[in-house]
Structure 1
Amino acid sequence: MTAKEKRSDTFKALMIALLAALVLRQFVLASYNVPTGSMKDTIMVGDFMFVNKFVYGARTPVWLGIPFTDIGVALPYFSFPAIIEPEQYDIIVFDWPEGIHLDYIKRCVAVGGQTVEVRGEKLFINNEPEGRLTPVGRKYDRDMGRNVDYTRVDLPNDDDNYVIRHVSAYNNRRNFGPITVPENQFFMMGDNRDNSLDSRSWGGVRRDQIGGKPLMIWFSWNGDAPAYKFYDKVRWDRLGMILR
């Protein structure tokens, strides 16, 4: 084999590997990094997570353009059949409904046909509390410079629970609705309830905007830790954490 043939074979192997990686990311499993705190403390700034792309029905790319802008073209797309449908209280990755093509991650608190209302710090679905609420303490948030109250939500008829945060940064987050979620849409909220840009601002998320289901955290980087404390830059206790 000549040197030219070796280079050609190497190039072909690299192209095949790149294509396989792109197909894997688009249709099977993708890694996402979280840059904001709207899901704290379920998901922290600096968390890297694997997202299942096929469980809700993988789809071909819907947009080709310049990242973080609306410059580009919409593409005809095809969606594969879903294994399961998105359910209430799932954590979901989806396309931001406001236009710029960004991936958002929130918790689905209501599905089509359900009524959503926020009264004070409490979320009501169909005029019923989202679950049994148990205060679990108060902690100082250095990023916000204030105390944050934590509440555990035990879901009705289920063993699952999750923890939400409340801090009075946005007063309009304390009272909302009631509204009825349109059919085939999903109402998303961040677990960091008072500091989350979510469906209270831009409405429901359509079924065709849903992109995947987060599985687990494979890495977590603490950007607030001093540079000389490299060991503390990694949140070791979050590695391998299952998201639910």
Structure 2
Amino acid sequence: MHPASTISSSSSTDTETPAVKPAKPWLAFIFGAVFTGWGLLYAGRPRAAISLVAGLWACLLIGGRVGIFGSLKGLSIIFGLVVFAKCISSISGALLARRRVWRPTLRNHLFYLAGMGCTLWLLLHAAAWPYLLGFTATRITGNGMAPTLMEDDTVSCIARSQYDPGDVVAYEQLAGDYVKRVAARGGDTVELVSGNLRLNDHNLGLFYASTQAQPYSQTFERTSLGADQLFMLGDNRDNSRDSRFDGPVMADRIKCKVTEIFYSRHQNRIGMRVD
């Protein structure tokens, strides 16, 4: 036996990289189903896990900017994207589990779960929806817009750069948020004559009015709007606090346009477009 050969063989053995213990496929599948990408992290593929989550959020953000999520169909698209990402996470994590080349530590898992918890909070927090998903949900209080919108209806609301007569919008007032219909905008003249809306001397008829028995629903003196003002009317004209009482609304007070009924106590109204 040659001593040099023995030493060389021993040194080669000492410098070999320790084998990584394979992960359990069933556990990787469960992890991936609970949080998107967690199964891939457990399987030793952190870059794939982060890429999957980043891809999901890119789809949500792009969809929000394009404006495809402000409806029940849009909500189903969001749900489908999340489920699809979870399926990829679970199945690919399970398939790669036994070929794990890197084993995440407990700290790695905790950091990942903390990050996923923050992203999940953003996705579920309604105040973040306008910035992330391009829409928000608004609950209707009162019946000033009946029968178009009823009390306790929950509607989708999408921000626009411009609002036109006939649009139903949510806006801020000192007393709170209101949902009414735009009757006129900057530069227009508006008045009510015998219950009919006259916009720039054109008779638009009842203009969505459902009831108008009260004197204040029949007549409103001719008013000219400033460049940054809008005139609001409720469809339930007799029971609506709108611009007839509070005056025109400044354009920067408008929050969004109401587009669809997400939820209503009357099942046949769910999914109705608001026009």
Q: Pick the TM interval, shorter chain.
A: 0.5 to 0.7
Alignment of 1:237 with 2:268, yes or no, is: yes
Secondary structure at 2:210's aligned position in 1?
Answer: strand
Question: 2:150 aligned with 1:44, yes or no?
Answer: yes
Match of 1:91 in 2: 168
Structure 2 counterpart of 1:11, which letter? Answer: A
Q: Which residue of 1 aligns with 2:255?
A: 211
- In structure 1, which of residues 11, 15, 18 is the aligned counterpart of residue 121 of structure 2? 18
| Paired AA for residue 242 in structure 1 | R
Higher RCO (Cα < 8 Å, 6 or more apart)? 1
2:197 corresponds, among 114, 123, 145, to 123
The answer as to whether partners of 2:260 and 2:273 remain within 8 angstroms in 1 is: yes
Q: Distance in 1 between matches of 2:241 and 2:131?
A: 26
> For the residues of structure 2 that align with 1:14 and 1:164, how far apart are their CA atoms?
47
> Shift of the alpha carbon at 1:172?
2.8
Q: 2:233 aligns with which of 167, 189, 195?
A: 189
Residues 1:165 and 2:196 are matched in the alignment: no
Which residue type is aligned with residue 177 of structure 1? E
Q: How many residues align?
A: 169
Kept after mapping to 2: 8 A contact 1:167/1:194: yes
- Larger Cα Rg: Structure 1 or Structure 2? 2
Q: Name the aligned partner's letter for residue 196 of structure 2.
A: K
Matches within 5 A, 1:74-153: 82=161, 85-96=162-173, 99-100=174-175, 102-131=176-205, 153=207
Compute the TM-score of the two structures, normalised by the length of structure 2: 0.56
Does residue 9 (structure 1) correspond to residue 112 (structure 2)? The answer is: yes
Could you give the per-residue CA deviations for residues 4-41 of structure 1, whole angstroms, max 9, x where no partner exists?
A: 66445333311122234443234611111101100000
Q: Secondary structure at the match of 1:173?
A: helix
Q: Quick one: distance in 2 between partners of 1:8 and 1:190? A: 51
Separation of aligned partners in 1, 2:258 and 2:216: 29
CA RMSD after TM alignment: 2.1
Unaligned runs of 5+ in 2: 1-103
CA distance in structure 2 between the partners assigned to 1:26 and 1:95 by the alignment: 18
Contact 1:174 1:194 in 2 (8 A): no
Once the two structures are TM-superposed, the CA of residue 44 in structure 1 deviates from its matched residue by: 1.0
Measured against aligned partners, the alpha-carbon deviations of 1:205-226 in whole angstroms (never above 9, x if no partner) come to 11111111111111102xxxxx
Q: Which residue number in structure 2 is paired with residue 178 of structure 1?
A: 222
Bigger strand share: 1
Inter-partner Cα distance in structure 2 for 1:6 and 1:201: 58
Which one-letter code corresponds to 1:17 in the other structure? L
Q: Which has the higher helix share?
A: 2
Looking at structure 1, the residues matched to 244 and 217 of structure 2 have their Cα atoms a distance apart, in angstroms, of 8
